[in-house]
Structure 1
């Protein structure tokens, strides 16, 4: 991929692409049935997205991923973080 492409994405979203790549890399061998791992990923996604989440919302996301078998990916977590109550 072209470097300018990523610079344009960063400009439009305000999200650092290096952070996204680091997050994606850390997800490859992660155990998503482990609550501590899932919480860590959720907190990283919230930080990257520049969003704060309540402990209650974090608990709901963790429960959804671990108990309901939801797939863990950036889009799933970002959508959950951005949902309005």
Structure 2
């Protein structure tokens, strides 16, 4: 299944409380359960005024549907084409 990076513009994201992040996570999980398509939220990174999420989904449209139903912005959706890391240098 394709992997996507979702960039979400959320002013003050780095200042969200644990309770705020818990509520956002719970809403995301609820939406994922009810999308009706294979969908996996892998992880998210909170940085400055953005949240960067890594999701597996069948399409960018499924990502948009998740965002719409969850009430989250999805300002930029990019499909991951390769994954590299330190071990890639040894290939």
| Higher RCO (CA < 8 A, seq sep 6+) | 2
Same fold (TM over 0.5): no
Scaled by the length of structure 1, what TM-score is found?
0.32
